[in-house]
Amino acid sequence: MSAAPVAAAPPAILVLGDSLSAGYGIDPRQGWVALLQQRLAREGFAHRVVNASVSGDTTRAGLARLPRALDQHRPAIVVIELGGNDGLRGLPLAEVRTNLTGAITLAQKQRAQVLLVGMRLPSNYGTSHTQAFHALYADLGRKLQIPVVPFFLEGVAADPALMQADGIHPNAVAQPKLLATVWPYLAPLLTSETLIR
C-alpha cells in the first residue's frame, strides 16, 4: 500500500531588511511586509512571507544573518532591503557594494530569485556621494541581472504626512504605498505554478 503524497510546502519569500521592513515605530501587522502576505493571498498566490528584517541592520549584519535564514526557509524569492543604515552612518560605498553583492550571490546559489530594493540618502550628505550611493543599486542590478526597485521611499520620504516624527521612518499610513512601490518589481518573480487552483 503506497503512502499518500505529501503536499509541497508553499514557496517562501524572504524579506531581508532593516527597520523600514521590520515595522519600526508601528504595529508590524500594519507594515508593508504583512500587507504583502495579504495581497499575495488576495491575488491567489500560495507564497508565505518570512520577515527576516531587523531594525538597525547594516548590509554587513544582514549578510551575516542570511546563510542561516536561507538554510531555514529555503526561499524561492529573496527581497533585499538594506543599505540605508550604511549610508546614514557614512560607511564606505565599497563595503556596501561588497556586502550586497555577497548577499545576492548567496541567495542565487540557493537558486532563489532576488529583488534588490534601492535607497537614497538625504541631500545634506553631498551631491556626489548621494548620487554614487543611489547608482550603486542599479549597477548591481545590471551586473548581477536582478530587478531593482529604484527608490523604496518614492513619494513617501518627502511627505511629512507619511513619515514618523523622526523624519526617517514611514508611518502606518505610508505602508500600502511602500508595497505599491515594490509590487511591480516583485510580481514578475511569482511563478504561475504556485497559483492556488
pLDDT at 108 over 50: yes
How much is the pLDDT for 126? 85
Check residue 151 and give left, alpha or beta (phi > 0: left; psi -120 to 50: alpha): beta
Of the listed 2, 71, 166, 192, which one is catalytic? 166
**Domains of the chain in sequence order:** 12-191 (3.40.50.1110)
How much is the pLDDT for 81? 98
8 Å CB contact between 153 and 117: no
Instruction: Tell me the pLDDT band of 96, cut-offs 50, 70 and 90.
Output: very high
pLDDT at 196 over 80: no
Please say if 19 is a catalytic residue. yes
Of the listed 47, 73, 134, 169, which one is catalytic? 169
pLDDT at 194 over 90: no
Averaged pLDDT score across all residues of the chain? 93
How much is the pLDDT for 192? 42
Summarised one tens digit per residue, pLDDT across range 24-69 is: 999 999 999 999 999 999 999 999 999 999 999 999 999 999 999 9
Q: Which of 59-68, 115-124, 157-166 has the lowest mean pLDDT?
A: 115-124
pLDDT at 141 over 50: yes
Please say if 86 is a catalytic residue. no
* pTM for the model: 0.92
Of the listed 18, 19, 21, 86, which one is catalytic? 19
Please say if 53 is a catalytic residue. no
Summarised one tens digit per residue, pLDDT across range 71-87 is: 999 999 999 999 999 99
DSSP string, the chain: -PPPPPPPPPPEEEEEE-HHHHTTTS-GGGSHHHHHHHHHHHTTB--EEEE---TT--HHHHHHHHHHHHHHH--SEEEEE--HHHHHTT--HHHHHHHHHHHHHHHHHTT-EEEEE-----GGG-HHHHHHHHHHHHHHHHHHT--EES-TTTTTTT-GGGB-TTSSSB-GGGHHHHHHHHHHHHGGGS-GGGB--
